[in-house]
């Protein structure tokens, strides 16, 4: 390629830069397409290629999703002119919609990548609307056209209807074979506008990602809007005013290359030596300490946990390991919050706040996998605002902290949910949303057989088992997206589960009054099957305040003796006894009741206790 120096970092004129991202649903082939672009533009040599090059974490690769976004600079020649393309990857899940919005804000255009065998999904649609609101140029791309099940004509029609273009404008590619990928690169240069900014104004760069690296500290990914940044300058974060020396500045393509700086419209990374991503937050504006900008870039938000859960080590002696592990994860996860929690049933652990369910799952999985911890997590809870009769206000993120006394009103977080489903399942989806206290907001046909259904739902219902149920009722076809939609007052109550008269804090739940009874019956029934018989009869009760709404009884054990014990049995029996004593040590005491750890785990999991265990009782 000629004239590469014209597109070297810090010396590239904005007209030669194109910044774009890819909006796609999980499994629609974003990473594979990105891999192909890396190869075709020559930034990754074939011998260095590995599948899903940009997905850094094992979990990302295994689940086929991107948790953190990335930026890659790639050269591409169009009409004889070399251009610099910056591909900014976007996280692929609803929990990370704020991070998605910042990635979009760093671009002028986006590929709308849709699986030609499946059509668009709800989250893709939500992100598409976000991109449209940001005035991004949208390039529709149908992927996986090599699949036998691909229906590119059908889905080109659907995309054309959605973004208001002609079906012929949809590019058709195969990330797997590479077919059509060059046309995509050409189209980006032709259609996506070049970035515009004031090179002489005080520097302003937007942080769209921030990653902790063991060796280098925090690596901050930025898009430069105005001005320029150079190595060894002192930079300042506009949300906090904190300043740091710029130790290194560079671009990824896709391995990091230090540069002489970054100019208007460019995308790259900064290293300042800070050790915690909280000091370099997504959405914040970086400026120069010596010549600061007066106004921060719009759209910055503090990360806001929406879902809370208690995490407890199964082996109580792992508590310090869990604490250290959370401290480490926090370095790379600005949204993760936690504080120590003590449960009478589960011992010492942490109350953790997450952006959503997937975020919870990912954190839990990383803790178990990377730190070799076995954990129990309590049922996810949302944030409730409680107004007492005396007008005092309490925020509740843990059911066990629900206030006693006269309550005037409880408000719960609501979400706007968008569900895309084949029209055959409209009835099933509406029935589900109805049982989850949803209110229908509207419904539109995307094509003759695909429907977008909009509901307003309590977030608490979504975090329970909504997604699993949606998938099972629609044979996996429906997709869901939701976003914050304020608060509503609701008739909520706290249901306690009592074992032999003692409240088991881990099982308390805040539920709608209409669901209190079924929750109580479900939990009491589960526990009756899971808790072994004791020396005395153990009532299991579900209660709202002092009112009992459900009751089960574990009958007292009557026989705990081996009938035969002769000469040859003695060693066996003693060893059995020792084993039983070991088993007892792993029991947790709830009041005077011994509860095996497994009973807590099984009761807290949403699955039914398995039939085999049942049969033994």
Interface ranges with other proteins (CB under 8 A): 535-536, 555, 557-568, 570-575, 577, 580-581, 584, 616
Least Cα distance to 376 among 608, 593, 604 occurs for 604
Query: Among residues 275, 293, 298, which one has the least CA distance to residue 218?
Result: 275
Whichever of 240 and 535 has its CB closer to other proteins, that residue is: 535
- Exposed/middle/buried for 575, CB within 10 Å: 0-12, 13-18, 19+? exposed
Q: Are 141 and 112 in contact (CB under 8 A)?
A: yes
Paired strand residues for 302:
none
- The bridge status of strand 384-388 relative to strand 407-422 is antiparallel
DSSP for 183-209, written as a single string: HHHHHHHHHSPPP---TTSPPEEEEEE
**Min CB(552)–other proteins separation in Å:** 17
Nearer to other proteins, 148 or 567 (CB): 567
Q: Which is nearer to other proteins, 405 or 567 (CB)?
A: 567
What radius of gyration, in Å, describes the C-alpha atoms of the chain? Answer: 28
Q: CB of residue 528 vs other proteins: minimum separation in angstroms?
A: 15
Decide if 211 contacts 68 (C-beta within 8 A). Answer: yes
Angstrom distances, CA of residue 269 to CA of 12, 51, 260, 266, 286: 16, 24, 12, 10, 12
Q: Which is nearer to other proteins, 1 or 557 (CB)?
A: 557
Question: Closest CB to other proteins among 186 and 594?
Answer: 594
Nearest-approach distance from CB 584 to other proteins, in angstroms: 7
Instruction: Name the nearest CA neighbour of 127 among 146, 111, 108, 144.
Output: 111
String of DSSP letters for 42-95:
TSS-GGG--TTTT--SHHHHHHT--SS--EEEEEEEETTEEEEEEEE----SGG
Q: Write down the least CB distance from residue 522 to other proteins, Å.
A: 26
Rounded CA-CA distance 187/182 in Å is: 9
Alpha carbons 308 and 322: distance in angstroms, whole number: 17
Task: Pick the closer one to other proteins by CB: 376 or 593.
Answer: 593
Q: Which long-range contacts (CB under 8 A, 24 or more apart) does 464-472 make?
A: 464/379, 464/380, 464/606, 465/606, 466/432, 466/436, 467/357, 468/606, 469/432, 470/419, 470/429, 470/432
Distance separating alpha carbons of residues 41 and 29, to the nearest angstrom: 18
- Is the sign of the CA dihedral 231, 236, 238, 242 positive or negative? positive
Q: How far is the CB of 574 from other proteins (least distance, A)?
A: 6
One-letter-per-residue 3-state SS of 87-103 = EECCCCCHHHHHHHHHH
As measured in angstroms, the least distance from the Cβ of 572 to other proteins is 6
Least distance between other proteins and beta carbon 534 (Å) = 10
Please, how many CA atoms are within 13 Å of residue 301, restricted to the half-sphere of its CB? 12
**CB nearer other proteins, residue 161 or residue 535:** 535
If the CB atoms of residues 391 and 581 are measured against other proteins, the closer one turns out to be 581
Smallest distance from other proteins to CB 559, Å: 4
- Of 215 and 566, nearer to other proteins (C-beta) is 566
Query: What is the number of other CB atoms lying within 10 angstroms of the CB of residue 213?
Result: 12
CB-nearer residue toward other proteins: 454 or 528: 528
**Sign of the dihedral through C-alpha 503, 457, 365, 270:** negative
In the complex with other proteins, which residue's Cβ is closer, 79 or 560?
Answer: 560
Q: Considering beta carbons, is residue 161 or 553 the nearer one to other proteins?
A: 553
Minimum CB distance to other proteins, residue 336 (Å): 42
Residue 50 or 559: the one with the smaller Cβ distance to other proteins is 559
Q: Which lies closer to other proteins via its Cβ, residue 167 or residue 596?
A: 596
CA distances from 133 to 113, 130, 149 (A): 18, 5, 33
Q: Side-chain half-sphere of 177: how many Cα atoms within 13 Å?
A: 10
CA distance 584 to 446: 59
* Smallest separation (angstroms) from other proteins to the CB of 346: 24
Nearer to other proteins by C-beta: 391 or 564? 564
Minimum separation from the CB atom of position 612 to other proteins (A): 11
Helix, strand, coil % in the chain, rounded to nearest 5: 30, 35, 35
Least separation in angstroms between CB 557 and other proteins: 7
Smallest distance from other proteins to CB 568, Å: 4
Which residues are within 8 A (CB) of 273 and not within 5 positions of it... i.e. 6 or more apart?
217, 244, 245, 247
Q: How far is the CB of 532 from other proteins (least distance, A)?
A: 11
* Beta carbon of residue 161, minimum distance to other proteins (angstroms, whole number): 57
Indicate the SS3 state at residue 397. Answer: coil
The CA distances from residue 486 to 383, 415, 489, in Å, are 11, 7, 10
DSSP SS3 for 60: helix
Minimum CB distance to other proteins, residue 551 (Å): 20
- Closer residue to other proteins in complex, CB, 366/588: 588
> Does an H or E element contain 415, and which?
strand 407-422
Q: How do strand 204-213 and strand 285-288 relate by DSSP bridges?
A: antiparallel
Give backbone dihedrals phi and psi of 7, rounded to 5 degrees, phi first.
Answer: -115, 30
């Amino acid at each position: 390629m000629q004239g590469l120096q014209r597109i070297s970092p810090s010396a590239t004129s904005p007209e030669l830069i194109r910044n774009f991202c890819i909006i796609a649903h999980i499994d629609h082939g974003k990473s594979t397409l990105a891999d192909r672009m890396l190869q075709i533009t020559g930034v990754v040599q074939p011998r260095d290629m590995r599948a899903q090059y940009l997905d850094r974490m094992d979990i990302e690769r295994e689940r086929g999703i991107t948790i953190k976004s990335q930026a890659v600079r790639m050269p591409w020649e169009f009409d004889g002119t070399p251009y610099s393309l910056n591909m900014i990857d976007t996280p692929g899940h609803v929990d990370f919609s704020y991070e998605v919005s910042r990635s979009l804000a760093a671009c002028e255009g986006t590929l709308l990548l849709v699986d030609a065998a499946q059509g668009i999904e709800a989250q893709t649609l939500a992100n598409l609307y976000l991109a449209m609101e940001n005035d991004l140029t949208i390039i529709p791309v149908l992927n996986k056209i090599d699949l036998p099940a691909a229906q590119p004509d059908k889905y080109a029609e659907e995309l054309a209807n959605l973004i208001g273009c002609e079906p012929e404008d949809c590019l058709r590619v195969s990330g797997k074979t590479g077919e059509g990928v060059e046309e995509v690169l050409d189209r980006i240069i032709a259609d996506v506008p070049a970035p515009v900014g004031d090179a002489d104004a005080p520097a302003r760069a937007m942080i769209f990602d921030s990653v902790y690296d063991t060796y280098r500290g925090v690596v901050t990914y930025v898009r430069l809007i105005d001005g320029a940044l150079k190595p060894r300058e002192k930079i300042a974060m506009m949300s906090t005013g904190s300043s740091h020396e710029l130790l290194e500045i560079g671009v990824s393509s896709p391995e990091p290359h230090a540069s002489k700086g970054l100019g208007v419209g460019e995308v790259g990374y900064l290293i300042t030596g800070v050790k915690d991503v909280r000091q370099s937050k997504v959405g914040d504006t970086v400026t120069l300490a010596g010549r600061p900008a007066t106004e921060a870039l719009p759209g910055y938000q503090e990360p806001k946990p929406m879902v809370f859960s208690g995490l407890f080590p199964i082996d109580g002696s792992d508590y310090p390991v869990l604490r250290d592990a959370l401290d480490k994860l926090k370095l790379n996860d600005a949204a993760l919050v936690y504080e120590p929690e003590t449960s009478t049933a589960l011992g010492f652990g942490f109350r953790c706040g997450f952006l959503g369910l997937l975020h919870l799952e990912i954190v839990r999985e990383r803790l178990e996998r990377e730190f070799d911890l076995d954990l129990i997590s309590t049922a996810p809870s949302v944030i409730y605002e409680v107004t007492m009769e005396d007008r005092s206000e309490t925020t509740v993120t843990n059911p066990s902290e629900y206030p006693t006394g006269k309550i005037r009103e409880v408000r719960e977080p609501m979400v706007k949910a968008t569900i895309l489903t084949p029209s055959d399942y409209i009835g099933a989806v509406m029935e589900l949303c109805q049982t989850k206290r949803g209110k229908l907001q509207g419904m539109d046909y995307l094509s003759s057989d695909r429907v977008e259904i909009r509901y307003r739902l309590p977030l608490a219902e979504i975090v329970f088992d909504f997604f699993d149920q949606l998938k099972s009722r629609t044979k996996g076809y429906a997709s869901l997206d939701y976003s914050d939609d304020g608060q509503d007052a609701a008739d909520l109550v706290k249901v306690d589960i009592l074992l032999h008269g003692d409240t088991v804090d881990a099982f308390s739940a805040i539920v709608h009054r209409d669901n209190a009874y079924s929750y109580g019956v479900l939990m009491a029934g589960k526990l009756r099957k899971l808790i072994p018989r004791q020396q005395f009869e153990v009532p299991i009760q579900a209660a709202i305040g002092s009112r009992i709404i459900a009751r089960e009884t574990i009958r007292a054990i009557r026989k705990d003796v081996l009938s035969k014990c002769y000469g040859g049995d003695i060693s066996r029996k003693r060893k059995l006894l020792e084993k039983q004593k070991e088993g007892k040590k792993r029991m947790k005491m709830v009041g005077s009741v011994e509860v095996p750890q497994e009973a807590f785990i099984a009761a807290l999991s949403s699955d039914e206790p398995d039939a085999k265990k049942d049969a033994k009782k």
